[in-house]
Amino acid sequence: MEDLPIEENPWKVVSGKEVYDNPWINVTAYEVINPSGGNGIYGKVHFKNRAIGVVAMDENNQLFLVGQYRFPLERYSWELPEGGGPLNEAALSAAKRELLEETGLVANNWQEFLTMDLSNSVTDEQATVFLATGLSQKEAAPEPTEKLQIIRKSFSQVFDLVMAGKITDSITVAAILKLKAMGYS
């Protein structure tokens, strides 16, 4: 596979000031000289965790979806089991924990198949997505702030929901489309 060309950073930072910080994110306001040479501003949201997604697929190509109300969106969302893992924690370790917490599932087989930048115009948040198979059911232990529903749908049903715009979560959409391109159905 051919590499893509890479250019040097054309942005110059004049100053930066932290304007918000909590256990999950940090927001910095920058004064910059933009690529065209003009003065400007830029706000950056730094994520203190990596986003984790898990496609939990059983032996019949059934996927587990998690439903929950998403505060920033002000609406309900169906998505893969997802969560965050500290940047200094192995992504696989975080994925195993999130899958167990949200669904009670444990997987024997794990395959990392997708990494992506989630909103690279304003954040540095990265996501890692795994395919988990060889599933067995244990007891779920969601975080106290989570009120979750779990459903199981065939891969083709989930793909159809993505294509119909009924599932819009970025990690879920990207993972399902990539798996489809890899030959899953």
Q: What is the pLDDT of residues 79-91, one digit of tens each?
A: 999 999 999 999 9
Please give the mean pLDDT across all residues of the chain.
96
Q: Is the pLDDT of residue 146 over 90?
A: no
- 100 shares its domain with 21: no
Residue 153 is assigned to a structural domain of this protein: yes
- Above 90 in pLDDT, residue 1? no
With a cut of 90, say whether residue 142 has pLDDT above it: no
Q: Looking at the structure, do residues 34 and 62 belong to the same domain, yes or no?
A: no
Determine the pLDDT at residue 92. Answer: 98
Nearest partner of 131 among 80, 78, 79, 60, judged by Cα: 80
Q: Whole-angstrom Cα distance, residue 185 to residue 179? A: 8
In-domain check, residue 21: yes
Number of structural domains in the chain: 2
* CATH number of the domain within which 124 lies: 3.90.79.10
Distance CA(13)–CA(25), nearest Å, equals: 21
Q: Residue 6 falls within a domain, yes or no?
A: no
pLDDT band at 143 (very low <50, low <70, confident <90, very high): confident
Pair (28, 92) in one structural domain: no
Q: Which two tokens stand for residue 93?
A: 């370790």
**Dihedral pair phi/psi, residue 181, rounded to 5°:** -65, -25
Residues 63, 36 share a domain? no
Per-residue pLDDT of 8-58, as tens digits, reads 999 999 999 999 999 999 999 999 999 999 999 999 999 999 999 999 999
Task: Please indicate, yes or no, whether residues 169 and 99 belong to a single structural domain of this protein.
Answer: yes
Q: Is residue 3 in a domain?
A: no
CA pair distance 102, 97, nearest whole angstrom: 9
Q: Are residues 28 and 113 in the same domain?
A: no
Pair 29, 40 in one domain: yes
Q: Where in the sequence is the domain holding 41, given as residue range(s)?
A: 12-47
CB-based contacts of 71, cutoff 8 Å, min separation 6: none
d(CA 101, CA 142): 5
pLDDT at 40: 97
| Same domain (yes/no): 18, 71 | no
pLDDT of residue 141 exceeding 90? no
Indicate if 137 and 117 belong to the same structural domain: yes
The verdict on 20 and 57 lying in the same domain is no
Do 90 and 56 belong together in one domain?
yes
pLDDT of residue 86: 96
